[in-house]
Amino acid sequence: MSEQEIVEQLRKGDEEAFKKLVTLFQEKVFNTALNFLQNYQDAEDAAQEVFIQVFNSIDQFKGNSTLSTWIYRIAISKCLDHTRNKKRKKRFAFISNLFSEKNELLYEATDFHHPGVQLDRKEDAAILFKMVNSLPGNQKTAFLLNKIDGLSYTEIAGIMNTSEPAVDSLLQRAKQNLRKKINEQTGK
């Protein structure tokens, strides 16, 4: 079944087409969400939300890009929504903690360990992911899509709705910023 056939069947509400769509894209969507959110549960939640939105808004897919590009856009949007919501919850927990009688920590960030990283490199990877998380939004998005998901400049440009030279510029700035952060970290 081609992407176009899947889209046509989804527009008719076909459950088999939806299952096929999920089978085709679940790994990519989950991995993208995991790279952005760095939490398995949040990544699973975001991935589910992506597929629900794809199913509910398939009529809005105009075919100006590939189906995978459209799904990546939704995935990134859902990840950014999760990040904003988590920051709001974190701020609220901090404020609540200021006025709490028990003085307990209500929110604690966990260290993220990417499943694709060798055991002896997990500490370095955790530091790198913290640095990547501190990049400006578009630089982080371009960097993760290119370096972690392995997408081409053309694919990233389509997902981010920008030009290939803009993607190149974002990646160059991301690399410069990461080099600067690494040098600060290592004292060079």
The owner of tokens 């988590």 is 86
Residue 67 lies in a domain: yes
Which pTM value belongs to this model?
0.67
Examine the domain organization and report whether 127 and 187 are in the same domain.
yes
Say yes or no: 71 and 2 in one domain.
yes
> Alpha-carbon distance 110 to 176, whole Å?
27
CA 53/CA 64 separation, integer angstroms: 18
**Which DSSP category does 4 fall into?**
H
63 and 10, same structural domain?
yes
The reply to whether 120 falls in a domain is yes
CB 97, CB 104: distance < 8 Å: yes
Q: What is the pLDDT along the chain (188 residues), one digit of tens a residue?
A: 788 899 999 999 999 999 999 999 999 999 999 988 988 999 999 999 999 999 999 999 988 889 999 999 999 999 988 887 776 555 444 444 444 444 443 333 445 555 554 555 566 667 777 888 889 889 999 999 998 888 999 999 999 999 999 999 999 999 999 999 888 877 76
Distance CA 160, CA 163 (A): 9
Q: Do 77 and 21 share a domain, yes or no?
A: yes
**Residue 22 and residue 1: Cα distance in Å, rounded?**
13
**CA distance linking residue 39 with residue 157, whole number of Å:** 26
Q: Quick check: is 105 in a domain?
A: no
Structural domain of residue 48, as residue ranges? Answer: 1-84
The reply to whether 98 falls in a domain is no
Virtual CA dihedral for 44, 30, 82, 112, nearest 10 degrees? 90
Which tokens is 168 given? Answer: 């190149």
User: How many structural domains compose the chain?
Assistant: 2
Domain CATH code at residue 151: 1.10.10.10
